[in-house]
Amino acid sequence: MRQERSFGDYKSDNYAWITLATGEYYPDILPQACELYTPVLVMFGQLLRSAHSSTDFFMHLNDVRVPWMRIQLMRVFRKYVSPNTPVEMLKRKSSAQKICEEFGGRFRAIVEVQKAFESRPLPDEALCAVLWEYKDRGKKGYDMTERMFQLLREKLPQLTIVGPERAGKDVLLGDVFENYPKPDRPVDFVIFENETVLGVGLARYDSDRGGAQEDDRTGQYRDCAQEVVAYTDALGMNTKVIFVNDGPGLLLGSMWDDYAYIEETWHRRVKVVTLRMITDRITYGWLVE
Q: Do 80 and 173 belong to one domain?
A: no
User: Does 1 map to a domain?
Assistant: no
User: Does 183 map to a domain?
Assistant: yes
Q: Do 108 and 36 belong to one domain?
A: yes
Q: 61 Cβ partners below 8 Å, 6+ apart?
A: 44, 47, 70, 73, 74, 77
Number of domains in the chain: 2
How does pLDDT run along the chain (289 residues), one tens digit per residue?
Answer: 457 899 999 999 999 999 876 678 899 999 999 999 999 999 999 999 999 999 999 999 999 999 999 999 999 999 999 998 887 888 888 888 888 888 888 999 999 999 999 999 999 999 999 999 888 776 777 888 999 999 999 999 999 999 998 777 899 999 999 999 999 999 999 999 999 999 999 998 887 655 445 567 788 899 999 999 999 999 999 999 999 999 888 888 788 999 999 999 999 999 999 999 999 999 999 999 9
Is the N-terminal amide bond of 83 cis, ω within 30° of 0? no
Q: Do 102 and 213 belong to one domain?
A: no
Domain containing 273: what range? Answer: 138-288
Q: Do 193 and 126 belong to one domain?
A: no
User: Does 14 map to a domain?
Assistant: no
Q: Do 284 and 147 belong to one domain?
A: yes
User: Does 154 map to a domain?
Assistant: yes
- Kind plus residue range of the DSSP H or E element containing 95: none
Q: How many angstroms separate the Cα of 216 from the Cα of each of 88, 238, 260?
A: 19, 27, 16
User: Does 283 map to a domain?
Assistant: yes
Instruction: Classify residue 251 by its DSSP letter.
Output: G
